[in-house]
């Protein structure tokens, strides 16, 4: 099976980095297709921890080609730092390439992100402040700057002359911000272009040739389904398409060529930032258990993550919109030692139980979770095979697979590469 996508089926931070790193052992290419440095993917190998924001989680394998696709928004300064950091830690980054079509996050995007959040006040989204929303907005409004523009002075100056007057007018009149200087921006971003020149290529051709030649290509999603601009809890979402459909628009691989979709989910649930979270445990002992044992603090911003139980309504919805062919259930070990484990199996709304995920956030706010309880277990941490898992843990996995409507392909019981149990190898590479 040469093409496979790893997608988040919750609100991000499901463990996509860990799963991607594990599966990348078999991959020839690892490709990011959307999002930007709002992502924080953790990979732990041989006692070393890596926090990847823009670099695909295949970078630890020498010889694996890592691509940042056209659908990603790139902060070149952040990317250069990340690459320098990896090189300092003796990770070879020469096989990392960037799409010439990817859009560039400019300093005014980050300022706009911060100022808009401030202005939203109580209605804020709780963004990561990385300029993601404003950059995607400019892309769609046809005011964007692409990586290819950083390679040529005339192109960059022309596009800045067209775009900056609008940006500055907005910043000055709405936010009383002094605005940005075109010349200074051009110099700064041409320097980044020079530093990255060798890496900026036509990734659309690379991805398609790889697929045509039977290479194993792994697509690494950032964020998650409930943060998707179309399918998430709008407007409390990110500005891209983390769902499997994003693979096609974000890399140029035709949709019929994506063969497998692995949906990554924690064995419970978390969310960072504002917005609805029906199975949330707020201020309870369960929240404390999950946050402390799961180390649930944001990779990118350090914020404590909101915690709750596995939500089967969300899971079933996500399995559908992604066409998930197999689930990867992570952090099962975090539930070790609990007497009971809960799952949200439906939403009670005006006396009726709903099993579909609502669009209307006002309606969602009125939904009460319908719980099902499962007996807990002692330890999954040391299991290396499915049949070594406690029977209650197996029962729990079986139940969530049934509720979600997709088989479990892989289970993760620790943050290191080795703490991984393959359940259905045929659903992976």
Residues of this chain that bind ligand IMO (CB under 6 A): 8, 12-13, 38-41, 125-128, 130, 132-133, 222-224, 227, 238-239, 272-273, 299
294 binds Mg ion (CB under 5 A): no
**CB contact at 8 A, 266 and 9:** no
Of 56 and 346, CB closest to ligand IMO: 56
CB of 330 to ligand GDP, least distance (A): 4
Q: Which residues bind ligand GDP (CB under 6 A)?
A: 8, 12-18, 40-42, 44, 295, 299, 330-331, 333-334, 412-415
Of 177 and 417, CB closest to ligand GDP: 417
Q: Does 85 participate in catalysis according to the annotation?
A: no
The region of 32-40, 138-146, 242-250, 317-325 touching Mg ion under the rule CB under 5 A is 32-40
Of 16 and 216, CB closest to ligand GDP: 16
CB of 34 to ligand IMO, least distance (A): 10
Q: Which does 15 bind (CB under 5 to 8 A by kind): ligand IMO, ligand GDP, Mg ion, none?
A: ligand GDP
Q: Does 109 participate in catalysis according to the annotation?
A: no
CB of 223 to ligand IMO, least distance (A): 5
Q: Which of 248, 299, 322, 325 binds Mg ion (CB under 5 A)?
A: 299
Q: Which does 132 bind (CB under 5 to 8 A by kind): Mg ion, ligand IMO, ligand GDP, none?
A: ligand IMO
Q: Which does 238 bind (CB under 5 to 8 A by kind): Mg ion, ligand IMO, ligand GDP, none?
A: ligand IMO
Of 299 and 325, CB closest to Mg ion: 299
40 binds Mg ion (CB under 5 A): yes
Q: Which does 334 bind (CB under 5 to 8 A by kind): ligand GDP, Mg ion, ligand IMO, none?
A: ligand GDP
Please write down the HEC assignment for all residues of the chain.
Answer: CCEEEEEECCCCCCCHHHHHHHHHHHCCEEEECCCCCCCCEEEEECCEEEEECCCCCCCCCCCCEEEECCCCEECHHHHHHHHHHHHHCCCCCCCEEEECCCEECCHHHHHHHHHHHHHHHHHCCCCCCCCHHHHHHHHHCCCCCEHHHHHCHHHHHHHHHHHHHHHHHHHHHHHCCCCCCHHHHHHHHHHHHHHHHHHEECHHHHHHHHHHCCCCEEEECCCCHHHCCCCCCCCCCCCCCCCCHHHHHHHCCCHHHCCEEEEEEECCEEECCCCCCCCECCCCHHHHHHHHHCCCECCCCCCECEEECEEHHHHHHHHHHHCCCEEEEECHHHHCCCCEEEEEEEEEECCEEECCCCCCHHHHHHCEEEEEEEECCCCCCCCCCHHHCCHHHHHHHHHHHHHHCCCEEEEECCCECCCEEECCHHHCC
Per-position b or e across 251-275, b if 16+ CB within 10 A of its CB: bbbeeeebebbbbbbbbbbbbbbbb
Q: Given the residues 28, 41, 75, 113, select the one marked as catalytic.
A: 41
C-alpha span between 327 and 9 (Å, rounded): 9
CB of 220 to ligand GDP, least distance (A): 9
CB of 5 to Mg ion, least distance (A): 17
Of 40 and 275, CB closest to Mg ion: 40
Of 116 and 424, CB closest to ligand IMO: 116
CB of 314 to ligand IMO, least distance (A): 14
Q: Which does 130 bind (CB under 5 to 8 A by kind): Mg ion, ligand IMO, ligand GDP, none?
A: ligand IMO
CB of 273 to ligand IMO, least distance (A): 2
Q: Which residues are catalytic?
A: 13, 41
Contacting residues toward Mg ion, per CB under 5 A? 13, 40, 299
């Amino acid at each position: 099976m040469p093409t496979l996508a790893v997608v988040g089926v919750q609100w991000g931070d499901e463990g996509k980095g860990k799963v991607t790193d594990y599966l990348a052992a078999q991959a020839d290419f690892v490709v990011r297709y959307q999002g930007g440095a709002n992502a924080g993917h953790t990979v732990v190998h041989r006692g070393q921890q890596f926090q990847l924001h823009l670099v695909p989680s295949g970078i630890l394998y020498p010889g694996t080609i890592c691509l940042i696709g056209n659908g990603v928004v790139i902060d070149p300064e952040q990317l250069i730092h990340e690459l320098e950091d990896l090189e300092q830690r003796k990770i070879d980054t020469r096989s990392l390439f960037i799409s010439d079509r990817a859009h560039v996050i400019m300093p005014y995007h980050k300022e706009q992100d911060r100022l808009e959040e401030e202005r939203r006040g109580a209605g804020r989204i709780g963004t990561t402040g990385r300029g993601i929303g404003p950059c995607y907005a400019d892309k769609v409004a046809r005011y964007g700057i692409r990586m290819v523009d950083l390679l040529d002075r005339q192109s960059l100056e022309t596009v800045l002359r067209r775009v900056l007057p609008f940006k500055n007018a907005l910043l000055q009149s709405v936010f009383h911000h002094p605005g940005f200087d075109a010349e200074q921006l051009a110099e700064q971003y041409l320097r980044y272009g020079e530093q990255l020149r060798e890496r900026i290529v036509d990734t659309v051709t690379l991805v398609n040739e790889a697929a045509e030649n039977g290479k194993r290509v792994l697509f690494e999603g950032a964020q998650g389904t409930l943060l998707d601009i179309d399918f998430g809890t709008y407007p409390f979402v990110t500005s891209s398409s983390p769902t499997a459909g994003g693979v096609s628009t974000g890399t140029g691989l035709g949709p019929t060529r994506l063969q497998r979709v692995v949906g990554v989910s924690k064995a419970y649930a978390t969310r960072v930032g504002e917005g609805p979270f029906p199975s949330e445990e707020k201020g309870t002992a369960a929240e404390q258990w999950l946050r402390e044992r799961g180390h649930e603090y944001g990779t990118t911003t350090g914020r404590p993550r909101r915690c709750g139980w596995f939500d089967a309504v969300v899971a079933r919805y996500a399995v559908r919109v992604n066409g998930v062919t197999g689930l990867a259930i992570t952090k099962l070990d975090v539930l070790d030692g609990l007497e009971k484990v809960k799952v949200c199996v439906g939403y009670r709304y005006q006396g009726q139980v709903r099993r579909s995920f609502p669009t209307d956030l006002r309606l969602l706010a009125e939904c009460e979770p319908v719980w099902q309880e499962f007996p807990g277990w002692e330890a999954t941490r040391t299991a290396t095979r499915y049949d070594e898992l406690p029977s209650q843990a197996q029962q729990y996995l079986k139940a969530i697979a049934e509720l979600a409507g997709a088989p479990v392909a892989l289970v993760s019981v620790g943050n290191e590469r080795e703490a991984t149990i393959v359940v259905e190898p045929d659903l992976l590479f």
